[in-house]
């Protein structure tokens, strides 16, 4: 019995490894997907920032061209001042020059505001690029590790399954059936430890006399509450 109990405990260990590895087979690809999404989002963000800067640069150049045009207009009108014949024409021309000068002032102001804005956005863009490069390296590294892990997992599972089969062959058919049934009904955990008189499967206190028996690991004892098989390990 003592031998069989120890074997059951070893089988449980192999089963836990199988469960853990199978879980990783699901979480690994999920994590890779998450990382790919993160990288894609970061790339899109910087791309958008770049487009906004380019649009504003275009607007700045457009306003600079307009500014030159207005300045030319003023020069032409100013030279015309000497050619006009009547006072009325002269006054009208002065008014036009005044309006053009106001437009120049407004354009110059707009250009300054745009340049400030572009400068700020370029700083943000540089920071985004830096962050993107950093995350890209980290993500590639993490993905490489997950992929390496994943590539060996089928092999790992096969190894633990073979180990499980080998151990199972030394367990009586009744106990084997009981163990498998327990695992099915108890989220994969059929063999549990007891700590300070508490079953670590269901966290219920067991009678003190039973606890003493459990610590001996001499026979197969089931938890009175959850029916799991006790295997005592002194964790202290």
- Least distance between Zn ion and beta carbon 9 (Å): 15
The only residue of 199, 210, 214, 229 in contact with Zn ion, by rule CB under 5 A: 199
167 touches 3 (CB < 8 A): no
Q: What is the DSSP letter of 86?
A: S
Size of the site for Zn ion (CB under 5 A): 6
**Residue 74 or 194: which CB sits closer to Zn ion?**
194
213 touches 40 (CB < 8 A): no
Question: Which residues are CB-neighbours of 227 under 8 A, at least 6 positions away?
Answer: 182, 186
What's the distance, Cα to Cα, between the start and end of the chain in Å? Answer: 25
Is residue 202 within the footprint of Zn ion (CB under 5 A)? yes
Is residue 201 within the footprint of Zn ion (CB under 5 A)? yes
Taking alpha carbons only, the member of 102, 94, 91 closest to residue 77 is 94
Using the rule CB under 5 A, give the single segment among 1-9, 42-50, 100-108, 218-226 that binds Zn ion. Answer: 218-226
**Residue 41 or 235: which CB sits closer to Zn ion?**
235
DSSP 92-129: HHHHHHHHHHHHHHHHHHHHHHHHHHHHHHHHHHHHHH
Estimate the crossing angle of helix 87-168 against helix 2-80, to 10 degrees: 170
- Least distance between Zn ion and beta carbon 181 (Å): 15
Using the rule CB under 5 A, give the single segment among 44-52, 54-62, 148-156, 200-208 that binds Zn ion. Answer: 200-208
**Residue 13 or 186: which CB sits closer to Zn ion?**
186
Using the rule CB under 5 A, give the single segment among 66-74, 118-126, 172-180, 196-204 that binds Zn ion. Answer: 196-204
Under the rule (CB under 5 A), what is the footprint of Zn ion?
199, 201-202, 223, 225-226
């Amino acid at each position: 019995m003592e031998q069989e109990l120890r074997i059951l405990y070893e089988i449980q260990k192999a089963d836990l490894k199988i469960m853990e590895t199978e879980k990783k087979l699901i979480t690994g690809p999920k994590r890779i997907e998450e990382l790919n999404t993160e990288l894609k989002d970061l790339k899109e963000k910087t791309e958008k920032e770049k487009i906004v800067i380019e649009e504003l640069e275009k607007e700045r150049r457009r306003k600079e061209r307009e500014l030159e045009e207005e300045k030319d207009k003023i020069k032409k009108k100013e030279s015309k001042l000497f050619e006009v014949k009547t006072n009325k024409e002269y006054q009208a021309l002065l008014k036009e020059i005044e309006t053009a000068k106001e437009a120049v002032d407004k354009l110059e102001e707009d250009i300054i505001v745009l340049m400030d804005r572009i400068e700020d956005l370029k700083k943000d863009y540089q920071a985004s690029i830096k962050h993107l490069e950093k995350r890209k390296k980290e993500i590639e590294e993490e993905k490489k590790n997950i992929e390496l892990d994943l590539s060996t997992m089928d092999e790992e599972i096969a190894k633990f399954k073979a180990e499980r089969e080998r151990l199972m062959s030394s367990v009586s058919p009744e106990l084997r059936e009981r163990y498998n049934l327990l695992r099915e009904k108890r989220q994969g955990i059929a063999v549990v430890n007891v700590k300070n008189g508490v079953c670590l499967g269901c966290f219920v206190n067991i009678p003190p006399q039973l606890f003493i028996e459990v610590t001996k690991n001499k026979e197969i004892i089931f938890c009175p509450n959850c029916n799991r098989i006790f295997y005592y390990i002194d964790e202290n």
